[in-house]
Structure 1
Amino acid sequence: MRIADAWAWLEAHALIGPHPFQSSSANARRITEAGKKALQHGLQRLKAGQRLDVDLHHLLAWTVRRQFLMGEFELAAFAALKEVEVRVRPLGGFSDELVGVGLMAAAFTPRGPGALTDKNAEAGEQEAMMALFRGAIGTFKYPSSHRAVDYDNPVLAAEVVLLADLPMRLLDRIEARMTQEQ
């Protein structure tokens, strides 16, 4: 029974599939390209890729998923957070000179308030939103901007991509709120 379950799991994850040249047996199977990669890199990489098998924000999906599947984990994580920064700049009306954590602070500061701050939110929520954006950029984009970061754990890289997905969706809400206020 366990062998049948394992076999079904391998097929469900496309690690094995029908053998194209064995027409004499309908049950003939082969190791797929994905299966060969799993043998070469281990199941951790497969599981990390499955984490990204979700509806990523449309501004992230194409580039980030492609880089990740090619094994370019650092580039995928960097590109995802770069998109957050690139999107904040025009939404807040900032110039190209303001970057990174400073850009996030200017965009979301409760004091002022920042161009993207929800003026109807409670002060602690405003502060937390700024901390979320500053923390994501400072923790995961800055290091890749200035030095090589070894994402030897693809699960961590997948989580960074998913972390970037959240601010992108929050920016969708902010953009909609700003449109309504105009």
Structure 2
Amino acid sequence: MVLGHDAAELLELEPDEVALIALPSIKQQGAVCWNNLNQGSRAEMNRDGVTDEETLRRVSWKLAAAWQWLLNEGLLAPHPGQDHPWYMATERAFVMADPLAHLSEVRSLSLLRRAQLDPTLNERVLPIFRRALYSAAVFQAMLEVEVRVRDLSGLSLNGVDLMKQAFRAHPVGPLSDPSAGVGDREARMALFWGAIGEYRNEAGHNITTPDDPQEAAEAVLLANGLLRILEGVRVRLQASRLTS
């Protein structure tokens, strides 16, 4: 058995799942070395009768990926009292009383970090998300969209009213593309109107499960997509001013 699982079970798991299964043992040991973990796992499998070199190799690769994931997520760090290559669990790891219960949270945060977020979301939303304040993170993300629309349009409206006027299809609103068809302009207006109406309304937000990190991450990514569209709008408006 490796980490309480046989080889076949372990190979069915994702690296982050293996990593979080291993984390309680790592925390308990205080100092861990990758080579010791790897060789110890091979010895355990040999005692269980697993001698197939292909299986042993695949398990080693899975453990290596899990180890690297722990490093990437800041759950492992070099042990200051030991020579390389000894590591220890970080303060963030010790906060996780039940690491597997944090799997969705960790995956969602990792998704956002890889998403090339707009700088304002990186600065103002990601820190909130890291503190597991998911409703507040969604609210702030959509607030950034609203602020950007207001700045670009020059309108002094708020919320849904701002989106309806800024992206008005006919007559063409200040952020609508006059070269696009009426249907396309209406679709763009509906996209912004719907997102703001769902997540940035007078009640704050309308996210159905504010404690769900995955849903919150998806809402933040929606805001990121809207900000990307607005950057294209900004470039178009700037080019239009230069040619007029």
TM-score bracket relative to the smaller structure: 0.7 to 0.9
Conserved? CA contact 2:199–2:207, under 8 Å: no
Residue 112 of structure 2 aligns with which residue? 52
Distance 1:89 1:148, change over 3 A: same
1:72-99 per-residue CA deviation (whole Å, 9 max, x = no partner) reads 111111111001111111321212xx21
1:93 matched to which residue of 2? 154
Find the counterpart in structure 2 of residue 42 from structure 1: 102
Describe the shift of the 1:146–1:75 C-alpha distance in structure 2 as closer, same or farther (beyond 3 A): closer
Which stretches in structure 2 are left out of the alignment for 5+ residues?
1-56
CA–CA distance in structure 2, aligned partners of residues 117 and 170 of structure 1: 11
Cα distance 1:173–1:148, how it changes in 2: closer, same or farther (>3 A)? closer
Matched residue SS, 2:77? strand
Would the aligned equivalents of 1:74 and 1:149 in 2 still touch at CA under 8 Å?
no
Give every structure 1 segment of 4 or more consecutive aligned residues whose post-TM-superposition deviation is greater than 4 Å.
146-150
Which residue number in structure 2 is paired with residue 108 of structure 1? Answer: 167
Structure-2-length-normalised TM-score = 0.66
- Measure, in 2, the Cα distance between the counterparts of 1:137 and 1:160: 11
User: Is residue 33 of structure 1 aligned with residue 94 of structure 2?
Assistant: no
Distance 1:122 1:148, change over 3 A: closer
- Pick from 114, 134, 139 the counterpart of residue 78 of structure 1: 139
When Rg is computed on C-alpha atoms for both structures, the one with the higher figure is: 2
Note the C-alpha offset of 1:16.
2.4
RMSD of equivalent CA atoms:
2.3
Give 1:14's aligned amino acid: G
Deviation at 1:34, TM superposition (A): 3.2
Cα distance in structure 1, aligned partners of 2:209 and 2:203: 9
Higher relative contact order (CA 8 A, sep 6+): 1
Could you tell me whether the CA contact under 8 Å between 2:163 and 2:189 is conserved in 1?
A: yes
Structure 1: 5+ residue stretches without partners: none
- Return the offset for 1:147: 8.0
Taking the aligned partners of 1:134 and 1:22, their CA distance within structure 2 comes to 56
CA contact (8 A) 2:152 2:175 kept: yes
Hey, what's the Cα distance between the residues in 1 that align with 2:206 and 2:195? 17
Q: Distance in 2 between matches of 1:143 and 1:17?
A: 44
TM-score by structure 1 length?
0.86
